[in-house]
Every structure is written in C-alpha cells, then in structure tokens.
Amino acid sequence: MNPGIDLQGTFVKSLVSFGVPPGMAKAVWMPLPMILMVIGATVGVLTCVWLERKISAAAQQRIGPEYMGSLGLLAPVADGIKLVFKEDIVPAKSDAFLFTLGPIIVTLPVFLSYLIVPFGQNLVITDVGMGVFLWIALSSIQPIGLLMAGYASNNKYSLLGGLRAAAQSISYEIPLALAVLAIAMMSNSLSTIDIVNQQSGHGILGWNIWRQPVGFIIFWIAALAECERMPFDLPEAEEEIVAGYQTEYSGMKFALFYLSAYVNLVLSALLVSVLYLGGWDFPIPLDFITNKIGVSINSSILEVVTASLGITMTIFKAYLLIFLAILLRWTVPRVRIDQLLNLGWKFLLPVGLVNLLLTAAFKLSLPFAFGG
C-alpha cells in the first residue's frame, strides 16, 4: 500500500521556508482542511442543484434554468443569496432553543462525515482506522435533529414529518450497516483508504460491485432512504404533510435543511464510489495503458497525472450515481409509509443478514476471491 504524502508536513515546511514560525504554520494548517472541506462540499451541492434542475427539465421535455448565467449556472447561487436575505421567522408557541438547534444538529454530522472520504490516493483529510464506523455513527445523529425540529415547531405536520424521519432512518440504518460490514469483512479494514486499495490493481474487474452486487443494491436503496430522496421522501411529502419538519422554517434555518439534504446525497454517492466502484481507481490500470502504448513517463509527472485522474474518477463516479438518483425522482412514484417500513424491516434487513453470512462463508472457502 502506498503510504501517501504527508500533506500537513509539506504545508508546514513550505510556510517555514518563507520565514513563518513553526507554531504559527501549524496553527494556520489546523482550520485549513475543514475550510476546504466546507467549500468543496458547498460547490458540490451547487453543482448538484443545477444538475437536478437541468436533468428534471430534460426528463419533462423542458429547457430549465437558462438566463441566470450560461445555461443557468448561477441559478443555485441566486437561490442561496435569496435564502440568506429571507426573514428568519420563529413561531410564537414553538420551543425557540430546540427550533434553532435542530437544523444545526442535522447539518454538522453530514459535513463531519467528509473527513473520511478519500478523493484520491493522497487526498483525504484524515485516514481514520475506523472511518466507515465513524460515518455510520455520525449518520445516526441526524434523525435526532429532524425529530427535534419537528417537535419544536409546535405543528402537527412538522411532528409527523419528524416522526417519519426518525422511523425511516432507524429502519434503513441497519441494512446499510450490514452492507458496509460485508465490505469491511472483505477488505479486513474499516479504513476507506484500505477499502479502495483492496480494489485497485485489476481495474474494473477488481471493484467490489462484482463481489458484492447484493450489498451494492442494499447500500444504494438504504442511502436514498437516508437522504430522503424519491421514492422515499415521506418525511417531507408535500401532498400529505405540507413540508414535514420543514413546514415552519424559513431563511437560513430552512437553507441548512436544504443544504444538508444535498450534501448528504453527494456524500452517499461518494461513499458508494469508494466502497463499491474502486474510488479513485481507473477502470483500466494506468500502468497497463502506458505499457501498451509504450510511453515512458517521468515519475513526478506520473504522480501528478495519477492524482488528477484519481480525483476525476472519484467525482465522475459519484455524479453518475447522483444522475441516477435525480432520474429516479421523475420515474418512480412515492411509496406509502407502510411500504417503506416493510421494505426496510421485512426485505432489506433479512437479505442484508444473508448477504453478510454468505460473505463470511465465501471468505473462508474462497479467500483468494474475497480478501482472505
């Protein structure tokens, strides 16, 4: 396994070489990864919102946003500016403290989950040994904020939306965890870096999607339910409960819910890319391509090319899945709440357990194919 580059050490040494004291250089580094993470996630969300509008328009044979910038690229920015300047209303009989705390609790865990996402071989904020477990633990905090927002609004529709969100999250977190455990068992690690490295070397044939097709389907369905995407948007079903837990929210508080929903979608797509589609791994190994065409590349240039391709492949795979999620919104009808819960508890949970047991059995009997 490639040990990677010490980005912190390189950054600190660069600043020290320009005369910055070592202590100050380390202090400058500390907030930098978090700032880059927030900026990167926000840009990803703006792109996702623009794609949602353009793909939705294409699915309905419309043009979509056209006049706000080239091809409507500034439409998401205009939405953000509009929400920033909207009046922040707190209902008179609501619990003001919990009403304000709810959106914060929903948003923070999603952003923190980006800490363990590797965009390239040396591009991860922190390579936590139990990275996947950390993500599952953080994702379980979000329903508390949704339930808190629904309860604090003092609105029956908001309370119903919060209760639905909590029930939906609990129902689909267990199948999601079982699918991730099967991947961790095959990779002998909970680190996202190790999981991608375990898939590299054989191109597309080494990706986990071929060894875990059932786990991939379970994970993707559960991820869509966790993100409250169609056909699983029961907590904010407009035709039934107005806007669910978001009904009483406006201004920046509503913007936080809006932001967290799309950040979570991008995060889920990135994790599917990392766990099942080889992450930054190219479908055809780069070494094979260079050997086939007989080109000798300088090691430093090769490292830059590999890193660039790695980032491109990770983001491309993620946005391919986001395209699929947006397309599902306009092709699949919303399920009923009883169908939603039955799918989670009566189908995905037993199938996830059987998949985990079969993975363990195949790992013992066919260790060369299942990472033994």
Tell me the pLDDT tens digit for each residue of 210-257.
Answer: 889 999 999 999 999 888 887 888 877 777 777 778 888 888 888 888
pLDDT of residue 217: 93
Q: Token digits for 223?
A: 């991820």
Q: Token digits for 288?
A: 């094979």
> Which of 55-64, 101-110, 279-288, 315-324 shows the lowest per-residue confidence on average (mean pLDDT)?
279-288
| 231: preceding bond cis by omega (within 30 degrees) | yes
Length of the chain equals: 372
- Assign 270 to helix, strand or coil: helix
Local confidence band at 77 (pLDDT 50, 70, 90 cut-offs): confident
CA angle 262, 139, 172 (to 5 degrees): 90
Local confidence band at 57 (pLDDT 50, 70, 90 cut-offs): confident
Measured distance CA(24)–CA(6) in Å, rounded: 18
Element (H, E) at 121: none
Mean pLDDT value across residues 108-123: 82
Element (H, E) at 310: helix 299-329
9 CB burial (10 A radius; 0-12, 13-18, 19+): exposed
pLDDT of residue 284: 76
Local confidence band at 176 (pLDDT 50, 70, 90 cut-offs): very high
What are φ and ψ of residue 120, in 5° steps?
Answer: -160, 175
Which residues 6+ apart lie within 8 Å of 324 measured at CB?
none
Amino acid type, 44:
G
- What is this structure's pTM? 0.85
| Residue 87 Ramachandran class (φ > 0 left, ψ -120 to 50 alpha, else beta) | beta
**Between 53 and 5, where is the model more confident?**
53
**Is 321 a residue whose pLDDT tops 60?**
yes
67 CB burial (10 A radius; 0-12, 13-18, 19+): exposed
87, 239 in Cβ contact below 8 A?
A: no
Local confidence band at 297 (pLDDT 50, 70, 90 cut-offs): low
343: DSSP letter? I
Per-chain mean pLDDT for the chain: 82
Mean pLDDT value across residues 74-82: 85
